[in-house]
C-alpha cells in the first residue's frame, strides 16, 4: 500500500493486536453496518405526516401518499400549487442518495483514520437536511400563493410549520415525524457511537504510525 493511500485509509491492525483485542476493532464496524442497514430500511418507511383536520398527507423520501388530491383541491382555492410539484429533484434522487450514504457508512468501517468521520457526515446530517428541505418547500408553497385564485383575498401568505401545530385560516395542521425519520435518527446515533469506538480503536495505531514516520 502506498504511503498516501495509507494516510487516507489508516494503518492496518497488526495480526497479534487483532487476535488479542478483536472486540475493540469489531465494534465500530458493527455500529456502522447497523446504521447503514437502518438508513436503507428507512427508504421503505414514511418519514413525515401532515394532517389538515380530516385529510392528511404522508411523506416518504421519494413520494407522498394519503389524501393528496383532496388537499390539493382545497389548496387550489387559496392559490397553492399541487403538493406533488414540491421537492421533485430531491424525491427523484432520494433512494439512490440514501443507498449511496449507506455505502459511505460501510466504507467508513474500513477506513482507520480521521477520514471515517467525513464519510459518515452525510448520514449524520440526513435527518436535519430532511427537515430543513421540507420546511423550505412548505414555506415556498405557502408564501407564493396565486393572487388570481378564487379565495386569494381571504388568506394571507403563510408558512406551515414542519414540527408543530399550525393554523391556516379555519384549518389546523398537525405534523408528525414517522418511522423512516426515526430510523435515520437512530442511524445517526449509532454512527456517533461507532465513531467513538473507532477513535478509541484506531487513534493509538495512527499515533504510533506517525511516531515511526517522524
Q: Where are the domains of the chain?
A: 22-203
Helix (H, G, I), strand (E, B) or coil at 138: helix
Q: How far apart are CA 82 and CA 43, in angstroms?
A: 23
State the pLDDT at residue 59.
96
Residue 61's pLDDT is: 96
Confidence (pTM): 0.89
**Has residue 35 got a pLDDT over 60?**
yes
> Residue 2's pLDDT band (boundaries 50, 70, 90)?
low
Angle at 34 between CA 33 and CA 39, to 5 degrees: 100
Mean pLDDT of 10-36: 88
What are the Cα distances from residue 92, in Å, to 62, 63, 98? 6, 9, 12
* Residue 160, pLDDT score: 87
Residue 213: pLDDT above 80? no
Contact 63, 91 (CB under 8 A): yes
Q: What is the mean pLDDT of the chain?
A: 90
In the structure grid, which three cell numbers stand for residue 82, read together? 399541487
Residue with cell 459518515: 120
3-state secondary structure of 160: coil
Q: Is the pLDDT of residue 1 over 60?
A: no
Stretch 55-59: mean pLDDT, rounded?
93
Q: Could you give phi then psi for residue 203, rounded to 5 degrees?
A: -60, -40
Contact 65, 213 (CB under 8 A): no
- If pLDDT is split at 50, 70 and 90, which confidence band does 65 have? very high
Q: Give the pLDDT confidence score for residue 40 in this predicted structure.
A: 97
d(CA 137, CA 150): 23
With 80 as the cut, is the pLDDT of residue 99 above it? Answer: yes
Cell readout for 61 is 423520501
Q: 169: which residues sit within 8 A by CB, 6+ positions away?
A: 78, 154, 155
Of 55-59, 170-174, 202-206, highest mean pLDDT: 55-59
- Alpha-carbon distance of 47 to 127, in angstroms, equals 10
Least confident of 39-43, 50-54, 160-164, 175-179: 50-54
Percent above pLDDT 90 for the chain: 66
C-alpha to C-alpha distance for 97 and 92, rounded to whole angstroms: 9
Amino acid at each position: 500500500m502506498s504511503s498516501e493511500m495509507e494516510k487516507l485509509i489508516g494503518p492496518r491492525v497488526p495480526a497479534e493486536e487483532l487476535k488479542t483485542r478483536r472486540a475493540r476493532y469489531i465494534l465500530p464496524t458493527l455500529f456502522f453496518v447497523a446504521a447503514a442497514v437502518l438508513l436503507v430500511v428507512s427508504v421503505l418507511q414514511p418519514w413525515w405526516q401532515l394532517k389538515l383536520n380530516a385529510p392528511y398527507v404522508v411523506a416518504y423520501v421519494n413520494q407522498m401518499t394519503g389524501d393528496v388530491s383532496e388537499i390539493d383541491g382545497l389548496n387550489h382555492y387559496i392559490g397553492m400549487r399541487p403538493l406533488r410539484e414540491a421537492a421533485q429533484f430531491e424525491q427523484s434522487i432520494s433512494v439512490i442518495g440514501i443507498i449511496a450514504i449507506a455505502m459511505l457508512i460501510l466504507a467508513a468501517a474500513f477506513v482507520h483514520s480521521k477520514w471515517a468521520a467525513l464519510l459518515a457526515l452525510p448520514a449524520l446530517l440526513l435527518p436535519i437536511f430532511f427537515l430543513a428541505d421540507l420546511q423550505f418547500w412548505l414555506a415556498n408553497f405557502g408564501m407564493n400563493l396565486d393572487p388570481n385564485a378564487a379565495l386569494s383575498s381571504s388568506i394571507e401568505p403563510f408558512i406551515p410549520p414542519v414540527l408543530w401545530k399550525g393554523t391556516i385560516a379555519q384549518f389546523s395542521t398537525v405534523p408528525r415525524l414517522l418511522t423512516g425519520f426515526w430510523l435515520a435518527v437512530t442511524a445517526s446515533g449509532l454512527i456517533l457511537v461507532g465513531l467513538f469506538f473507532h477513535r478509541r480503536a484506531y487513534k493509538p495505531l495512527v499515533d504510533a504510525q506517525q511516531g515511526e514516520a517522524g
